[in-house]
Amino acid sequence: MSEAGSAPTSGAHSGSGRAISATKGDILVSCQGLQKSFGDREVMKSIDFDMRAGDITVIIGRSGSGKSTLLRAIAGLTDPDDGRMVFDGEVVFEDQKRTPAWKQVDSHVGMIFQSYTLWPHMDVLKNLTLAPRKRLGMTEKDALGRAEKALAEVGMADHIHSKPVQLSGGERQRVAIARALMMQPKLLLCDEITSALDPPVAAEVLDVLRRLKEEEGIAVALVTHDMAFASKAADRVVFFHQGEIAVNTTPDEAFNHTEDPELKKFIEAVRF
Ligand SMILES: Nc1ncnc2c1ncn2[C@@H]1O[C@H](COP(=O)(O)OP(=O)(O)O)[C@@H](O)[C@H]1O
Ligand SMILES: [Mg+2]
């Protein structure tokens, strides 16, 4: 994942690393045997997990089961202890470290968190343009153009000069999505981004993700407790249990036909 303030990358085109060749249906990310422990606690036991370009993958599971750890590993915010990751056909993690290929693709991975991570003292425009201006050396004009487009995509064009404090929680999360879009990601990782929002507001934010998939072909992996969204919009549902992927299937299978006892219990617990 790209980070604000890191050194500018070289490269002739718009600057966000190399172009991604995976198109809808191709495997975009492959995780193979990912392991991670904190002390003697195995948080990822041996995770095998593929994500296809343009798919929405909903990740569910109890608190502490390892969901955030997997997203953070894919985003480059944490490294597994072992295993391999392949992004768009190139090995980006192997032998316990990131490979040089990771730097070529990391800007295509965006991550959004539950708590608002906008800079409070900057307006929306500045929040969006800071990283691309610094990291990609983008001109002010280009950054403005891209910000206008990103805000339009999340329905926030009218708020370009607002400060975060003037926005509602749902609006802030839509701005956070727009900020991730500035780097033109192929993959958005969303970690409980609607957990602090009222259900109708949460539904609007999640609907933005669905539009981004449909209109921009962006793959989305999201951790959520919103089973309605999962059953409507997900291509895949992944159920984490104690550091392992216990179920990886279609929403219909997961919610209506699963034989997995832990998933059954989980669905019963969250349903009402
Ligand atoms: N940096 C860390 N140091 C120590 N333990 C951690 C750290 N990050 C996560 N854990 C532990 O790893 C387990 C899985 O965490 P996490 O991936 O956040 O689960 P989930 O997102 O499914 O709730 C939890 O028990 C958590 O306390
Ligand atoms: Mg978590």
| pLDDT on residue 115 | 86
Tell whether pTM > 0.75.
Answer: yes
Cβ(241) – ligand 1 distance below 6 Å: no
3-state secondary structure of 50: strand
User: Could you tell me the domains of the chain?
Assistant: 55-65+109-271 (3.40.50.300)
241 contacts 264 by C-beta, under 8 angstroms: no
| pLDDT on residue 67 | 97
What tokens does 33 get?
């045997």
Distance CA 46, CA 130 (A): 37
Contacts 24+ apart (CB under 8 A), 11-19: 14/136, 14/138, 14/142, 14/184, 15/132, 15/135, 15/136, 15/137, 15/138, 16/107, 16/108, 16/136, 16/183, 16/184, 17/103, 17/104, 17/105, 17/106, 17/107, 17/108, 18/104, 18/105
Cβ(224) – ligand 1 distance below 6 Å: no
| pLDDT on residue 16 | 58
Mutate to test the pocket of ligand 1, among 44, 68, 77 (most ligand atoms within 8 A of CB): 68
Ligand 2 center to 190 CA (angstroms): 10
Mutate to test the pocket of ligand 1, among 37, 38, 189 (most ligand atoms within 8 A of CB): 38
| pLDDT on residue 56 | 97
| pLDDT on residue 47 | 97
- Taking the CA of residue 61 as reference, the ligand 1 atom at the shortest distance is 22
Instruction: Write phi, then psi, for 238 (nearest 5 degrees).
Output: -115, 125
Residue type, 64: G
- Taking the CA of residue 70 as reference, the ligand 1 atom at the shortest distance is 17
pLDDT in tens, 111-123: 999 987 899 999 9
> Can you list the residues of the chain whose pLDDT is less than 70?
1-16, 272
Ligand 1 center to 9 CA (angstroms): 32
What is the DSSP code (8-state) at residue 214? Answer: I
pLDDT in tens, 211-238: 999 999 999 999 999 999 999 999 999 9
Mutate to test the pocket of ligand 1, among 41, 74, 224 (most ligand atoms within 8 A of CB): 41
Cβ(61) – ligand 1 distance below 6 Å: yes
Cβ(69) – ligand 1 distance below 6 Å: yes
| Residues forming a β-bridge with 245 | 240
- Taking the CA of residue 223 as reference, the ligand 1 atom at the shortest distance is 21
